[in-house]
């Protein structure tokens, strides 16, 4: 099915197990509410895969570092926010690239240990003055060149660590003046400016195997619909100008930036050109609504999903203790 679902708690309930068995979502996503310990999370990831009878079913997480971390101390290391890593760049681009790469490798190491195979990272948005703080320190920098350079290092680190990266939020969330968890932002910037700034980071890293959409209206392109449900934005910008041909998933459709019943949101996103609907809150009634609209994964969306998963490789040799020490040295030197 063209859906990624969350679950309610730290164990998989009987109703959830039966629902997943019957609907066969493409993958699952875990949040802090689903996490207690390494052992528990490993069991949960295994149970999710068992529910769809697929030992390779994708399990995703938002593990960025900073304030967006689902796997937290004391069981996991604190990871720096992207802006903290990006702050190294002006003095030493090489040190910044190394720090971002090592951080991504360390995140991947943590995720592989518990059976998580996809991380919703890197954030390729370029914040501007006056934008809402929802992106803020989650971005590497406020200039495109730095975001591209460090985004590339993050993608490499995750891939070499055995985890698939997801670039977000296409085609650019940096100008949003509202938190999309709460409201729908509208951006009135001219399209040529968007192309030269917001879109260029995604265009430069369009080889990333997966991407997440932005719940943002770009008035110069489609004043009626946010990117997630806009055929024009997806066709002309994400697939066209940016040239992204990987698996495109929505941002969480339960966020308040979108309006209307969950089933209508799911239908609109799939009609617009998203390959997969992401629904995160674990509410069974809403998941059933999504399932009514998210038909079987087939055709071009299936090919994109298969192509993305084909890029998943076993982690390359890695010494996490040495990497942690080196990353600490780089951050201290800043």
Closest residue by Cα to residue 201 from 95, 80, 98, 82 = 82
Instruction: Give per-residue pLDDT as tens, 229-269.
Output: 999 999 999 999 999 999 999 999 999 999 999 999 999 99
Which DSSP helix (H) or strand (E) runs through 247? strand 247-249
Please write the tens of the pLDDT for every residue from 141-154. Answer: 999 999 999 999 99
179 is catalytic: no
- List 212's β-bridge partners, or say none: 249
Q: List the CATH number of the domain containing 130.
A: 3.20.20.300
| Active-site hit among 54, 91, 181, 319 | 181
State the average pLDDT over residues 156-162.
Answer: 98
**Active site includes 169?**
no
pLDDT for position 303: 98
- Which phi and psi angles does 211 have, rounded to 5°? -145, 155
How much is the average pLDDT of 271-286? 97
Per-residue pLDDT, 179: 87
Instruction: Determine contact, residues 166/109, Cβ cutoff 8 Å.
Output: no
* pLDDT band per the 50, 70, 90 thresholds, residue 47: very high
By residue range, what is the domain housing residue 57?
3-333
Give how many domains the chain has, as a whole number.
1
> Averaged over 172-184, what is the pLDDT?
92
Where does the pLDDT of residue 333 fall: very low under 50, low under 70, confident under 90, or very high at 90 and above?
confident
Cα–Cα distance measured from residue 31 to residue 53, given in angstroms and rounded to the nearest whole number: 22
CA dihedral angle for residue 226, residue 232, residue 237, residue 241, rounded to 10 degrees: -170
Checking if the pLDDT of 7 tops 90, the result is yes
End-to-end CA, the chain: 46
Strand 277-279 and strand 3-5: the pairing is parallel
Residue 329 structure tokens:
């040295």
Share of the chain above pLDDT 90, in %: 96
pTM for this entry: 0.96
pLDDT at 29 over 90: yes
Of 62, 251, 252, 275, which is the active-site residue? 251
Please answer whether residues 167 and 208 qualify as being in contact, where contact means their C-beta atoms are separated by less than 8 angstroms: yes
What percent of the chain has pLDDT above 70?
Answer: 100
> Residue 334 above 80 pLDDT?
no
Contact 48, 115 (CB under 8 A): no
Q: Measured between alpha carbons, how far is 96 from 172 in angstroms, rounded to an integer?
A: 22
pLDDT of residue 250: 98
Tens digit of each residue's pLDDT (9 = 90 or more) over 191-208: 999 999 999 999 999 999
pLDDT (tens digit per residue) in 64-110: 999 999 999 999 999 999 999 999 999 999 999 999 999 999 999 99
The pLDDT score that the predictor gives to residue 148 is: 98
DSSP3 helix / strand / coil % (the chain, rounded to 5)? 45, 10, 45
Q: Which of 86, 72, 75, 78 is nearest to 123 (CA)?
A: 86
């Amino acid at each position: 099915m063209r859906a990624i679902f969350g679950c309610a708690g730290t164990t998989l309930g009987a109703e959830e197990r039966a629902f997943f068995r019957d609907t066969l979502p493409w993958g699952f996503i875990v949040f802090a509410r689903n996490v207690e310990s390494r052992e528990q999370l490993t069991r949960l990831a295994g149970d999710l895969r068992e529910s769809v009878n697929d030992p390779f079913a994708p399990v995703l997480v938002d593990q960025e570092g900073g304030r967006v971390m689902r796997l937290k101390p004391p069981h996991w290391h604190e990871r720096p926010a992207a802006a903290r890593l990006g702050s190294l760049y002006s003095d030493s681009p090489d040190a910044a690239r190394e720090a971002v790469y090592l951080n991504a490798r360390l995140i991947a190491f943590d995720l592989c240990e518990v059976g998580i195979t996809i991380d919703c990272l890197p954030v390729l948005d370029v914040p501007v003055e006056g934008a809402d703080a929802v992106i803020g320190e989650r971005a590497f920098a406020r200039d495109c060149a730095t975001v591209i350079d460090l985004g590339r290092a993050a993608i490499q680190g995750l891939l070499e660590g055995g985890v698939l990266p997801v670039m977000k939020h296409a085609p650019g969330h940096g100008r949003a003046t509202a938190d999309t968890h709460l409201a729908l932002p509208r951006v009135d910037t001219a399209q040529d400016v968007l192309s030269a700034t917001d879109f260029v980071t995604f265009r430069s890293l369009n080889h990333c195997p997966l991407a997440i959409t932005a719940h943002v209206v770009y008035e110069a392109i489609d004043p009626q619909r946010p990117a997630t449900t806009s055929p024009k934005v997806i066709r002309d910008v994400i697939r066209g100008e940016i040239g992204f041909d990987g698996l495109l998933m929505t941002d969480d459709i339960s966020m308040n930036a979108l309006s209307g019943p969950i089933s209508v949101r799911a239908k609109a996103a799939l009609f617009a050109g998203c390959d997969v609907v992401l629904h995160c809150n674990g509410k069974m009634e809403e998941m059933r609504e999504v399932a009514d609209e998210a038909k079987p994964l087939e055709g071009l969306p299936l090919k994109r999903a298969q192509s993305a998963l084909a890029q998943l490789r076993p982690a390359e040799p890695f010494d996490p203790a040495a990497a942690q020490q080196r990353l600490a040295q780089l951050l201290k030197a800043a």
